[in-house]
A and B are shown apart, each in its own frame.
Chain A
Amino acid sequence: MSYWAHLRVWRGDAEDGQLVDYPVEVNEGEVVLDIVHRLQQTEAGDLAVRWNCKAGKCGSCSAEINGRPRLLCMTRMNTFAEDEVITITPLRAFPVIRDLVTDVSYNYAKAREIPSFAPPAGLEPGEYRMQQVDVERSQEFRKCIECFLCQDTCHVVRDHEENKTAFAGPRYLMRIAELDMHPLDARDRQREAQEEHGLGYCNITKCCTEVCPEHIQITDNALIPLKERVVDRKYDPVVWLGNKILRRGDKRVR
């Protein structure tokens, strides 16, 4: 049942690095992370890789396999031919720390820039009432395991470091959509999505949706509806007139 696979793994640090070839044994039912672990146990004890749950729930073991952003723990070896060279490289959009480990602090910085859930005034804990159908929209986005594959693949930042300042990335634009669709969130988020977090940079090529290991419809269910609401707001003649008369462009609650 077992065979020897040809693995090619990027080894190096921020300064320098190269692809290194390793023959590694593969057994039935194994995933790429198993093979990386076997490599650590035998030939490369210091091979750096992040991982935690090994069940697709924590989003730690993100890397690129044959150029495609994937979770190492959810990529089965039997999806490759036995004689195929399997190339594993670190996430390209983020600076390398060592081997397969990258500096993902961009994502945490962006997370901090998104205003948090604003609890509704006048409701005490235990008094929240929401219908299942209303929470399901945001629940889809809360399935996100923060593997940052969508952030890695998005062409707005993948080869354009300069856009990182202005663009929150699919994961955090989806976070805004999630809060915007939360039945009890008290904050108006549409203007800031466009003006502060770079929603306009997204031109809905759906790359983020394609790599999402949780199969969240990021583009169709989060980003496009958010764009539509922003546009509705901007070009709604009543809103336009109201803004002119009342000079109340910013309707944020606080």
Chain B
Amino acid sequence: MTEVQRHDYDVVVIGAGGAGLRAAIEARALGRRTAIVCKSLFGKAHTVMAEGGIAASMGNANPGDNWQVHFRDTMRGGKFLNNWRMAELHAQEAPDRVWELETYGALFDRTKDGKISQRNFGGHQYPRLAHVGDRTGLELIRTLQQKIVSLQQEDFAATGDYESMIKVFAECTITELLTSAPTGAPGSAGVIAGAFGYWRETGRFVVFNAPAVVLATGGIGKSFKVTSNSWEYTGDGHALALRAGANLINMEFIQFHPTGMVWPPSVKGILVTESVRGDGGVLRNSEGKRFMFDYIPEVFADNYATSEDEADRWYDDPENNRRPPELLPRDEVARAINSEVKAGRNSPHGGVLLDVSSRLPAEEIIRRLPSMHHQFKELADVDITAEPMEVGPTCHYVMGGVQIEADTAAAVGVPGLFAAGEVAGGMHGSNRLGGNSLSDLLVFGRRAGLGAAYYGIRLNGHRPAVDEAAVEAAGQRALVPFAEVAADAGPGVTGENPYTVHMELQQTMNDLVGIIRKADEMELALKKLEELAQRAARVEVEGHRQFNPGWHLALDLRNMLLVSVCVAKTALERTESRGGHTREDFPLMDAQWRNVLLVCAGATADELSVTHEDQTPMRQDLMDLLELDELKKYFTGEELAEHRARAPR
């Protein structure tokens, strides 16, 4: 095979978003030589797209807030399917992770007494989101990027080499995780030994030898047509984990953000931050009606206002009024918009109207929502201080991901593999609350960095060796798209255009495994995915290996297809509706399903299995943070036998 560049590191972090950078900072702090490998330039990760804020119960805006309240909100938002230990750690550690950012140089918006300002968001009982206008993700990524640079400056002062401890390998794509060669001894195979990839710029191959790999690759949204996600979101980490022998859980749960742009067509899906609603924006249908009052589900009935008057009073007097229903969790709002559009009460371009112009003075809108103002003005010719925005649901986030141990972020089943952020599953259950993603990145990014560092330290110098046969195979596989389809492949069989296959995949997932799902449509989707996989195997690209987007897409397609099969199979299997999984044929939530995790395993679509696994029962002290009456809506009677209200201790 052609020459392969080699690098040795203690920890390799794949992905340079919030989770990856925070993991790298922690691994370096423990003295581990760390590589950060990312598909884009340093500082361009998808985290920059986050707008609203970071959820952390600092209690700056309402002193009643604390980690227990945040934990409760997170579990409610996820319809109690969450990995409760992750939700607990997340709620407990988020404030420290935010305050730490200030010591790295972050500049959040302030309260009058000089603390970090916190704003309201859907599903959060108190104003909880630390923010910088509506560009919080940019602040987060830049702060972490600049922290990495400051660590590199310290290393330069100590060693004369900026990259002696942390090196960023930008525009470098990992295509396979490498495990140790099987020796026959039990447990000798399937241990992480490194990763294989290529430089986007030159197309040359690169191998990282490392005993610990942190996946921080984000989500899978590019498998859907209407999405807020960038080209990078091709499910790489999800697919890499499966091929290395790890499990994915909760893949049926996809968050459709209720408010994406719908017009013009070229920007369809681009995110409109939830802060618009958090700061007073309301949703109306074509009849001018604030329709969300008609969509308050029974489980949330106690907490949401039933009249416009009460909802409007809440902004100034949250103690004596209930919240506006526009601030229900995202899954509820997205479904409501979908129903309004289906009923024909849609805005001119097939969405609904999101209005902040009649709710806040123009200068206040520009101060609080500057990038929304800018985005609508530049891309849609809409002045949001004077007229409403047209919005509709857009594929935004995957709750499912690599099954990990909560405390260490270690992937179940593959020693040396760790996962943090969107690529990890469990934390958000069936639906993520806005603001809980940025905090998730920091809390579990740090824990994954710790986990990977300590795992490597405990190996005591016994680094697993990369299986060279796997390196050879990975190189050959990466070059397949350059080979012409054999003339004897069959009558009429020709090379496929990767862009065409990708667009058909996006249309299939959007139409058949989208926001509202039915068994026959998903069965059809699985059939189509099989056909697309066959066509993807025949993809042919023009040109050569130097910065060739057609080739890059051809390689990403393999991951998107595998992950899409996971989504379709698990969505077909779960015969209930919960959070980011809505079945038209099974519209109700079923307490019997709450305890069930659907676990995907298998390196290819053909080998993919979906098995049922019981959740670990929630610790009693956490269960007791919630009232029995609320828990009864989600749990079976048996599961609640030990609740404080039943079994006083």
Contact = CB atoms under 8 A, between A and B. Distances in A.
Contacts of B549: 40, 45-49
B107 A138 contact: yes
Contacts of A143: 135, 138, 370
A125 B375 contact: no
B150 A50 contact: no
A60 B44 contact: yes
Interface in B132-156: 132-133, 135, 137-139, 142, 146-147, 149-150, 152-153, 156
B318 interface: no
A55 B99 contact: no
12 contacts: A45-B498, A46-B542, A47-B549, A48-B546, A58-B48, A98-B546, A112-B162, A116-B105, A117-B150, A132-B109, A135-B108, A139-B107
Contacts of A56: 374-375, 378-379
Contact of A29 (B102, B109, B201, B265): B265
Task: Give the secondary structure class of A's interface.
Answer: loop
Contacts of A58: 40, 44, 48-49, 230
A28 B265 contact: yes
Given A58-B230, A112-B153, A126 B95 contact: yes
A52 B550 CA distance: 15
Interface in A107-143: 108, 111-112, 115-117, 119, 125-126, 128-132, 135, 138-139, 142-143
A54 B270 contact: yes
Interface residues of A, number: 58
A215 B544 CA distance: 39
Contact of A57 (B135, B264, B500, B551): B135
Contact of B550 (A28, A31, A40): A40
B51 to A, nearest CB: 9
A117 B146 contact: yes
Contacts of B378: 56, 74, 76
A51 interface: yes
B92 interface: no
A13 interface: yes
B451 interface: no
A34 B114 CA distance: 44
Given A40-B499, A60-B44, A116-B146, A30 B110 contact: no
Contacts of B323: none
Interface residues of B, number: 73
A46 B550 CA distance: 5
A117 to B, nearest CB: 3
Nearest to B202: A97
Contacts of B156: 112
B499 A41 contact: yes
Nearest to B133: A139
Contacts of B110: 130-132, 135
A53 interface: yes
A53 B149 contact: no
Interface string B472-492: 000000000000000000000
Interface in B499-535: 499-500, 503
A210 interface: no
Contacts of B265: 27-30
Given A48-B549, A49-B549, A55-B49, A119 B543 contact: no
A69 interface: no
B44 A59 contact: yes
B405 to A, nearest CB: 27
A131 B114 contact: yes
Nearest to A143: B135
A139 B139 CA distance: 9
A85 interface: no
Contact of A52 (B100, B105, B231, B542): B231
Contacts of A125: 96, 99-100, 102-103
B632 interface: no
Contacts of B271: 55
A50 to B, nearest CB: 7
Interface string B74-109: 000000000000000000000110011011110111
